[in-house]
Amino acid sequence: MFLTKRFYIILASLTLLAGFGYVFPQLFTGVKILLFIFAVMVVIDAVMLYHRRGISAKRSCSERFSNGDKNVVKISLESNYSFPVWLTIIDEAPEVFQRRDISYKSSLAAMGHTVLRYTLTPVKRGVYSFGKIRCFTRTSIGLVERRYTLGDAKDVKVYPSYLMLNRYELLAMSNNLTEMGIKRIRRVGNNTEFEQIKDYVKGDDYRSINWKASARRNQLMVNVYRDERSQQIFSVIDKGRVMQQSFRGMTLLDYSINASLVLSYVAMRRDDKAGLITFADKIDTFVAPSHRTGQMQTLLEALYAQETNFGETDFSNLCVNVHKQVSKRSLFIIYTSFSGITALNRQLAYLKLLSQWHRVLVVFFEDAEMNDYIRSPKRSMEEYYQHVIAEKFAYEKRLIVSTLRQYGIYSVLTTPDKLSIDVINKYLEMKQRQILT
């Protein structure tokens, strides 16, 4: 049993009146009567609360949370009391959230029920543990409170952002992907690829006549096309120490995982095969590309437990293993981070080698906070020097893009919050311009 603030206010008031009784003796009689009534009310209040177990509560939430998204938690409350009660509900959320504000005031009518809702936004994958629900109940008298310990402890797994995936799926079904920032890119040619040149026969499309071949053979020749075969798309995620850098509470590794999951979904909807590679000093995860049913769940489970390796990234090991395990020409989307042109030069030879076998798209990150600092006003000589250094780093990022382009390596320089949109747009651009093969 807990005594409320109202209890102490009334008790303090009676004590004050009793003090005045030394000056006005007639007050003692009144105070004694009030004190007796007060004690009776406390007893009545306690009996009303404790004569039965009057409150039940249940927490409901998804069995798994989506990393970086708002996840809804519901608390259902039900009263078995035959009179209205007022409640203070405290939910023991996982300590990783450091939430001290999950405390709600509510009321329940006689035999009533209600549902409270709040959201949690995790920024790290893993297992999060909920505790009990603490419910402090008082009557309209409000002198004492009864604490109920309700609900069950529960563990929730935090997975890569599948809620973002669901949003893309719904928008794709309604052809509204432009609402998420996905550009509509005009296709070059038809959804076909060249197969052979053959003699013209009556009924062939005259638009497919190959005039150069016709001139060489001295007869009409036509190009034959077939439906474009699906491409293999690998999301290659760097797990080295450079990916431990954080932005708005989430690491670059987590942003890359979320983006690769959404990209895999978009690729599979366009009949491409999605695969996965994670690596640092060696390849940790290899999921063969496929567009079969269940591939997205396989990718989700593979990405769930990925953690940053604080060592250096070994691109040479990546090249060796890719050459052994991937024989068909594919698109490799490499999520990594380069601090400057020197960092790129250490890996450039391996990226050039990889681009000889496959199409390579390197995705790396701008420092959004540094860009904001560059745009901020300069107020002192020291800040001028600091801005110059910051602008040098920003220039080197653009120089990396130029350097990669010189060697036929595609790139995306983006901020973490725009990563998914920019990568998907680049993939669609490459696919619709038929440069994945």
Q: Do the domain assignments include residue 20? A: yes
On whether both 216 and 284 belong to a single domain, the answer is no
* Other CB atoms within 10 A of residue 402 CB: 10
Residue 355 has pLDDT above 70, yes or no: yes
Q: Do the domain assignments include residue 437? A: no
On whether both 39 and 152 belong to a single domain, the answer is yes
Phi-psi category of 331—alpha, beta or left, where left has phi over 0 and alpha has psi -120 to 50?
beta
Question: Which residues form the domain of 220?
Answer: 192-227
What pLDDT shows up at residue 394? 82
On whether both 108 and 207 belong to a single domain, the answer is no
On whether both 221 and 238 belong to a single domain, the answer is no
What pLDDT shows up at residue 101? 67
What are 363-400's pLDDT values in tens digits? Answer: 988 877 777 777 788 888 887 888 888 888 888 888 99
On whether both 96 and 127 belong to a single domain, the answer is yes
| Domain boundary residue, one of 107, 140, 158 | 158
Residue 171 has pLDDT above 50, yes or no: no
Owner of token pair 């919050």: 417
Owner of token pair 């296709």: 187
| Percentage, residues of the chain above pLDDT 70 | 90
CATH number of the domain enclosing 12: 2.60.40.10
What are 396-414's pLDDT values in tens digits? Answer: 888 998 999 999 899 999 8
What pLDDT shows up at residue 228? 55
Q: Do the domain assignments include residue 137? A: yes
On whether both 265 and 387 belong to a single domain, the answer is yes
Q: Do the domain assignments include residue 289? A: yes
Average pLDDT (177-203) is 61
On whether both 136 and 26 belong to a single domain, the answer is yes
Question: How many domains is the chain built from?
Answer: 3
On whether both 223 and 329 belong to a single domain, the answer is no
What is the rounded distance in angstroms from the CA atom of residue 72 to the CA atom of residue 270? 32
pLDDT band at 430 (very low <50, low <70, confident <90, very high): confident
What is the rounded distance in angstroms from the CA atom of residue 165 to the CA atom of residue 167? 5
Residue 186 has pLDDT above 50, yes or no: no
Query: What residues contact 398, with CB distance under 8 A and at least 6 apart?
Result: 413
CATH number of the domain enclosing 301: 3.40.50.410
Residue 342 has pLDDT above 70, yes or no: yes
In this prediction the pTM is: 0.69
On whether both 61 and 202 belong to a single domain, the answer is no
